[in-house]
Amino acid sequence: MSLILVVGTKRFSSWSLRPWLALKATGAPFEEVEIALRQPGTKAEILKWSAAGKVPVLVDDGVQIWDSLAICEYLAERFPEAGLWPDDPVARAVARSVSAEMHAGFPVLRQQCSMDLLLDSPLADPSPELLTEIARIDALWSDCRARFGGGGRFLFGRFTIADAMYAPVVTRFATYHLPLGPVAAAYRDAVLAWPALAEWKADIRS
């Protein structure tokens, strides 16, 4: 087995963090290639791995899988014993829905609060559009925790792809000190305490 995960600069590459966390959760050994983003040669470097021109890219015995959510889905099938999706079909359907909502949504948060894992910068006056997205995220996390979270500290109890998809959202809440209710705040803290996230942060070259 030869697994290579190609990621972008660990400080900034929120899309790369997601499948990296999922792959870590499988326990499978893998090689990692980090490409420096925002450099003149970035695109050319990424194109060596994927014609789509974006990271992350997973290469499994020469087969390329690109796009964060597609990689997570692939890992769930490749490593069924890792339980990357919830076991219960209803929980699994909701986990897929919230993951897709993140993958396709929250444009204001992504634009106004970009992921920077070395930054600590309270946002004094969040825009109404941002507050609307914050409220949706708070409701979504609180709802998942209440309905499915009983068996652990994550959205569906144990760590799943849904948590991987929201991990860079969690870090934004911490970086920009965005408001959360008590249930969502406890979830944020659980993700921030996840050892794999600390491992990713430890690799950051400032």
* Positions that interact with ligand GSH (CB under 6 A): 8, 13-16, 37, 42-43, 46, 53-56, 67-69
With respect to ligand GSH, which residue has the nearer C-beta, 35 or 178?
A: 35
Closest distance to ligand GSH from the beta carbon of 89 (Å): 25
Asked if 27 and 81 touch (Cβ cutoff 8 Å), the reply is no
Q: Alpha-carbon distance 91 to 156, whole Å? A: 7
H-only helix segments in the chain: 14-26, 42-47, 68-78, 89-104, 107-112, 128-148, 161-175, 182-192, 195-202
Closest distance to ligand GSH from the beta carbon of 138 (Å): 23
With respect to ligand GSH, which residue has the nearer C-beta, 10 or 92?
A: 10
Closest distance to ligand GSH from the beta carbon of 37 (Å): 6
Closest distance to ligand GSH from the beta carbon of 179 (Å): 26
Could you tell me the two tokens for 202?
């430890």
Picking from 80, 76, 83, 69, the residue whose alpha carbon sits closest to that of residue 14 is: 69
With respect to ligand GSH, which residue has the nearer C-beta, 15 or 176?
A: 15
